[in-house]
Structure formats: structure tokens, C-alpha cells
């Protein structure tokens, strides 16, 4: 993914989110580096369901150079049809390109370092990540921010706070939503916009 293009989308998205506020965006409260991540899973329970995709972007606040990491993961059980319909991730895809979860978790933890982790529904994503790490004797202690909670505080009274609905409110394309890196892109826009509105990175 071309993250220079993503930066342009971020700027455009922030403008759209702020068009009703008539306020200049300020990002000085953001960490100089942070991670935006997203998971796709076979269900909602980290003790019963499995991660099938992880995407993460290491964002540099003061630069247009960002790096991303992405992996499909082969689960131990077949992907339910309804999950394929939502995400577009098929059993054939993970059979062909899926990696071992243990190696992926270790690679992503190295990518994260000790940086702040940002997810749209952080409770969900972090529960799956921490459960997976614990299964391999690893611990994730990074600080985290929930873009969903921040959006609710920044823009109270909206009809929906689903990521796709917020993106549409800002006039952003949701093509490719429910895939990890696309959701990272949208989450980054919501997070940076909400942080600027609230004056806090969490």
C-alpha cells in the first residue's frame, strides 16, 4: 500500500471531519510514532475464535514516511461462510497464503516495539492479541487507545459509530472495508481527527 497516498487521504478525511467545526486541526498531542492496527477474526470470543488477518501501520506524526505490516493467518478450523462474506477472506486464501500464528505474533510484537497501539475497538483487538501472545508465553504491555471511544467523545449524538458509517459521514470511501489494512487507514483518520478534537491521544 502506498502510504503517501494514505497521508493525502488522512488530510482529506480530517478536513471532512472538521468541516462542521470550523477549527484548525492540531496534532501536537499525538505521539511522534504510534501503531494503528486491525484484526480480522473468525468470531467475537478470543478463547474460542481465531485471528485470520492482522494489519498494522507504524505512523510517523511528523513525516509522510509510514511503514506497514500485513499477514494472513491459517486458522486451525475452517473459516465460517459468514466471516468470508463479511471480510472477503476465504479458506482458499489462508490455505495458500496463511502463515503460522506464532511466527506472525512474534513478528508483529517486534514491529510494535513499545509504541502506543491504536485500534478502532481496542478492547476487541487487544483481547485477541493478548490471548494469542499468552498462548506462546509472550506478553503485550503497550499503552493503547480506542478510536471508537474517542469518536463517541469527540462527536456525541451521531446515529452510528460503526467505522464504516463514520467514514461515510466524512465522505470517505469504504471500498475494501473489513480487510485489515483498509480498516487501519480508516481508523487512522478517525483517531487523528478525534485526538485533535479532544486534545488528547487517548
Q: How many other C-beta atoms are found inside a 10 Å radius of the C-beta of residue 89?
A: 22
What is the distance between the alpha carbons of residues 32 and 61, in angstroms, rounded to a whole number? 5
| Collapsed DSSP state (helix, strand, coil) of residue 48 | coil
Strand-by-strand arrangement of the 67-72 sheet: 67-72, 51-60, 33-41, 116-119, 144-146
36, β-bridge pairs: 57, 118
What is the distance between the alpha carbons of residues 83 and 135, in angstroms, rounded to a whole number? 23
Among 49, 66, 70, 178, the one annotated catalytic: 178
Residue 70 bears catalytic tag: no
39, β-bridge pairs: 54
Give catalytic residue positions.
178
Amino acid at each position: 500500500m502506498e502510504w503517501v497516498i494514505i497521508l493525502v487521504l488522512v488530510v482529506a478525511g480530517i478536513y471532512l471531519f472538521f468541516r462542521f467545526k470550523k477549527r484548525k486541526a492540531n496534532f501536537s498531542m499525538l505521539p511522534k510514532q504510534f501503531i494503528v492496527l486491525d484484526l480480522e477474526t473468525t468470531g467475537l470470543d478470543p478463547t474460542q475464535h481465531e485471528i485470520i488477518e492482522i494489519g498494522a501501520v507504524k505512523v510517523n506524526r511528523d513525516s509522510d514516511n509510514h511503514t506497514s505490516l500485513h499477514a494472513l493467518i491459517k486458522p486451525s478450523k475452517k473459516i465460517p461462510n459468514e466471516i468470508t462474506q463479511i471480510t472477503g477472506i476465504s479458506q482458499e486464501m489462508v490455505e495458500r497464503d496463511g502463515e503460522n500464528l506464532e511466527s506472525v505474533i512474534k513478528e508483529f510484537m517486534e514491529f510494535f516495539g513499545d509504541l502506543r497501539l491504536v485500534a478502532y475497538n481496542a478492547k476487541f483487538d487487544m483481547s485477541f492479541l493478548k490471548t494469542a501472545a499468552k498462548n506462546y508465553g509472550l506478553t503485550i504491555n503497550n499503552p493503547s487507545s480506542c478510536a471508537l471511544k474517542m469518536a463517541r467523545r469527540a462527536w456525541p449524538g451521531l446515529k452510528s459509530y460503526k467505522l464504516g458509517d463514520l467514514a461515510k459521514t466524512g465522505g470517505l470511501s469504504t471500498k475494501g472495508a473489513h480487510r485489515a489494512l483498509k480498516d487501519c487507514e480508516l481508523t487512522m483518520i478517525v483517531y487523528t481527527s478525534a485526538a485533535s478534537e479532544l486534545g488528547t491521544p487517548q
